[in-house]
Amino acid sequence: CHTLRVRTFTSNLHASAPFHGLFQRQYFSGSILVKQTRNLGLAMNGHGDLNNFHAGRAAIKLAADPAYSYQSLAIDFDEDDVGIREQYRPFLFDGSPSTDDWISELELSTAIKMVQSEILDKGLDRLRILVLYGSLRIRSYSRLLAYEAARILFRLGCDVRVYDPAGLPQKDDVQHCHPKVKELRELSKWSDGHVWVSPEQHGNLTGIFKQQIDWIPLSSGSVRPTQ
C-alpha cells in the first residue's frame, strides 16, 4: 500500500523565492508502518522571469562621437548616376536626401564613423543593398517602410537600389528572358545584401514577394535565408 501526499505553503510566494513544502510518504512494510517526512526547497532558478532577463547580456552604452554626429555619407547628386537615381532611388525627396526629417535626426555617429574609416577612407566600394517589397497597392505601407529603411542605409553610405515588382510574371520555366525577371536577377547579382519587406497575408508572405524570391535562382549564387 502506497500513499503520496504533498502539502504546500504558498503564502507570500513570489518568482524569486524558493518553493517550500512538506513531502510526506507513507507505506507499509509487513506489519510495520513507516513514515518519512522531509522538507523541499526547490529554487525556481529564474523560471518566474517571464522576459528571460537573467539570460540577457549586459548592455553597453556607446557614447556619441560629436565629430560624426548627424553627418550623412549619402551619395551626392553630382557623384550619382542620373539613370540609377531616377529608376532605383524613389525614396529620395526631389532626387536628394532630406535634411530636416527624422532620418537626418537619427544619432548614427558610431555606424557612420565605422563606414568612414573602414570603407570610404580605404577607397573600398560602398556596400550595395537591394531592397525588395511585397505589395502592389497604390498606398502600400510595406513599400513606404521599405523606402524608410532605404533612406537610413543611404545616409549610412550604402549604394541602395529598390526593385519595383510591378509587371513581374508568375514564376514558371518559360519566362526567364522576361525584362522584369532579368532586371531582378541582375540587381541581385550586383548586390552585397538584401532588405526584404513584406506584408502578412493569410499568415504568410504575399504572392508577389514570394515570386521575387522564386525568380532568383540559387544557381546564380543566391543563398537560402535558412543557410
In the block, residue with C-alpha cell 522576361: 178
The pLDDT tens digits of the residues spanning 81-116 come to 999 999 999 999 776 777 778 988 898 999 999 999
The answer to whether 176 touches 219, Cβ cutoff 8 Å, is no
Confidence band of 48 (pLDDT split at 50, 70, 90)? low
Q: DSSP of 160-171, one letter per residue?
A: EEE---TTPPPP
What pLDDT does residue 223 have? 61
**Three cell numbers written together for 46:** 529564474
- Mean pLDDT score of the chain, rounded to an integer? 79
Architecture of 77-215 per CATH? 3-Layer(aba) Sandwich (3.40)
Report domain extents, the chain.
77-215
Mean pLDDT, rounded, for 117-124: 94
17 or 222, which is more confident? 222
The pLDDT tens digits of the residues spanning 151-167 come to 999 999 999 999 999 99
**Three cell numbers written together for 53:** 532577463
Confidence band of 52 (pLDDT split at 50, 70, 90)? confident
Q: DSSP of 108-157, one letter per residue?
A: -HHHHHHHIIIIITTTPPPPEEEEEE----TT-HHHHHHHHHHHHHHHTT
User: Is the pLDDT at 128 greater than 60, yes or no?
Assistant: yes
> Phi then psi for 203, rounded to 5 degrees?
75, 15
What own/partner pairs with CB < 8 Å and gap ≥ 24 does 97-103 have? Answer: 97/72, 97/151, 97/154, 97/155, 98/151, 99/72, 103/148, 103/151, 103/152, 103/155
46 or 188, which is more confident? 188
Cβ-based burial of 220 (10 A; exposed 0-12, middle 13-18, buried ≥19): exposed
The pLDDT tens digits of the residues spanning 173-191 come to 888 899 999 999 999 999 9
User: Is the pLDDT at 211 greater than 60, yes or no?
Assistant: yes
What pLDDT does residue 35 have? 46
* Torsion from C-alpha of 184, 190, 196, 199, nearest 10 degrees: -20
